[in-house]
Amino acid sequence: MSCAEAGRIHTGDEVAQDLERTCDVCVVGSGAGGAVLAHALVERGLCVVMLEEGGYHTRREFDMREDHAFPRLYQDLGNRATDDLSLTMLQGRSVGGGTTVNWCVCYRTPPKVLALWRDVHGAEGLSEEALAPHWDWLEQRLHIAEWPIAAANRNNRLLWDGLGALGYERHSLKRNVQRCVNSGYCGMGCPVDAKQGMLVTLIPEAVERGLTVFANARVLRLETRGRRVEAVHAQLLDPETDRPTGRRLTVRARVTALCAGAINSPALLLRSGLDGGGRVGRRTFLHPGIVSAALFEEPVNAWYGAPMSVGSRQFAERGDDRLGYLMETPPVHPMLGAIALGGFGLAHQEAMEQLAHVQAALVITRDGVVEGDEGGTVALREGGRRLSIQYPLRAHHWEALRHAQVELARVQLAAGAREVRSLHARPVVVRRAEDLPLLERAPWEALRVKVFSAHQMGGCAMGGDPARSVVDSRLRYHGLDNLFVADGSVFPTSVGVNPQQSIFGLARWGAQHVAAAVGA
Ligand SMILES: Cc1cc2nc3c(=O)[nH]c(=O)nc-3n(C[C@H](O)[C@H](O)[C@H](O)COP(=O)(O)OP(=O)(O)OC[C@H]3O[C@@H](n4cnc5c(N)ncnc54)[C@H](O)[C@@H]3O)c2cc1C
């Protein structure tokens, strides 16, 4: 089927009446998975309609203000968290999904992780060899290249120096940018379109080839009959208020591809009465991480410059019974800083007065690999509209986070920090290497220390055995013939590195299976 109309991006306010569309493939979600998949499908000449709950925001609106960006570009206005509030999450929500706001780091999936997914979880076909041509293509198209250490901002440079002083492994990270001006505002949407996210690369290119995108289109449920998805039902939202306009959009597609991301893809399946035998929403992984804040005499100005460009794999492998972690850096803008540094009243004021001198380092832990680690769960609250996200942090998580905090502080002190603070409700402050045991003795418990995630994975685990997974090795939902899932939710464990390139690769590889289901 070729599309009856030329490609376009429609916003919710442009739709004046209820609409119905037919197409080959309906793609739900426009982030790392959805955009790459849709692009690969229109390249094959298929008629594709993409539905995105978030708005269509572009460079013209990206004014580098956190108070504008978080409500517009993030899930739950930037306040997504687990039910017990012990783990807060940043997750994208606009055309381009997480790729519009992310910090640009790109890693290929480590071969060891692909082997684990194959050998333990029965996910066939996702080998390094099968993914390599897709990664090669993506690296070229998205200008993925190492960020030179000479261009690192001071925040990253200090991590580099500290790692070097201790003889720890260190490397500069790869980023998907072109003509980057090193502004540091990636998290608020790139104001100069340097970030090679889906918003400025594959989505416009696919639209030129006929892709139709409806922004502000929240998919409510998939209608199924027998072994098939018959229709995708969405409501249109007002771009200004995010409230329903009263208009409905129904897409009847030969195949539906769910790419709403971890957390939202499982939630949408559950709203559609598809619980995968109780496995949908299970095995949710978050790379739980902490941030360590160091104070330096000289200003660091950690809000300027490429936010994340230096990393260390020094503690990536810590044995089979312990979680490995990567060290990296987050940007320190005023709002994020104010939330992270915590404290009340005068203490908070003093912390904020020193913001220019704060260097921040973080870790991401690789969850889901220790024996018995089933991660968290996504479920629906009563009424179905709101989500319940649970993620019990267990002994092995706390062991890794405690270890990581000590090592981050060691690195920051080696780089010349005057003092290092943990993000405990009552921060632990260390000024010399001899004080590091104080960090070990701190309370490592839920709600006593801030734990973050910007990497959501799992919830629709991929695998060979229908009794243990939600989608098969071709990304097809077990039990339905024309429903696929192609986003971070299909990872059977966390990936252990920044996930976007793994999701890009998975979606481009998976396009062959989606296309085959429509006979292309
Ligand atoms: C602040 C931040 C920094 C990050 N930095 C990095 C980094 O440097 N490197 C890296 O590799 N990763 C990074 N990430 C993570 C990365 O962006 C995500 O892992 C990736 O975008 C996830 O891809 P996805 O396709 O699974 O989902 P998403 O990109 O989240 O896309 C899903 C889309 O589906 C839409 N959607 C959800 N529900 C519905 C519905 N019912 N109807 C219609 N649409 C729906 C959402 O609005 C969203 O736009 C970062 C993330 C954040 C938030």
Give yes or no for residue 496 CB within 6 A of ligand 1: no
- What pLDDT, in 10s, does the model give residues 250-288? 999 999 999 999 999 999 999 999 999 999 999 999 999
For the chain, first and last CA: distance in Å? 10
Cβ–ligand 1 distance for 453 under 6 Å, the answer no
pLDDT digits 0-9 by tens, 464-476: 999 999 999 999 9
CA of 92 to the centre of ligand 1 (A): 5
For residue 364, list its beta bridge partners: 326
Confidence band for 48, pLDDT divided at 50, 70 and 90 = very high
Q: For a substitution probing ligand 1, which of 30, 88, 102 has the most ligand atoms within 8 Å of its CB?
A: 102
Give the model's confidence band at 343: pLDDT under 50 very low, under 70 low, under 90 confident, else very high.
confident
Q: 349: part of which helix (H) or strand (E)?
A: helix 345-353
Which atom of ligand 1 is the closest one to the Cα of 89?
53
Instruction: Please give the distance, rounded to the nearest whole angstrom, from the Cα atom of residue 260 to the centre of ligand 1.
Output: 8
- Ligand 1 site, residue 454, Cβ cutoff 6 A: yes
Tell me: the pLDDT tens digits for 215-227? 999 999 999 999 9
Cα three-residue angle 512-266-369, rounded to 5 degrees? 85
3-state helix, strand, coil in the chain (%, to 5): 30, 25, 45
Tell me what pLDDT residue 3 has.
Answer: 77
Ligand 1 contact via 101 beta carbon (within 6 Å): yes
Rounded to whole angstroms, how far apart are CA atoms 151 and 293? 22
Q: What is the mean pLDDT of residues 418-440?
A: 96
C-alpha torsion 379→382→388→390, nearest 10:
-80
Rounded to whole angstroms, the Cα distance separating 326 from 481 reads: 39
What's the sign of the alpha-carbon dihedral 123, 376, 508, 228?
positive
Distance 351 CA to ligand 1 centre (A): 31
Q: Is 503 in the pocket of ligand 1 (CB under 6 A)?
A: yes
Number of H helices, E strands in the chain: 12, 24
| CB-ligand 1 contact for 378 (6 Å cutoff) | no
CB of 109 sitting under 6 A from ligand 1: no
From ligand 1's centre to the CA of 325, what distance in Å? 21
Q: CB neighbours of 332 closer than 8 A, spacing ≥ 6? A: 155, 300, 302, 303, 340, 355, 358, 359, 360
For residue 5, what pLDDT is reported? 73
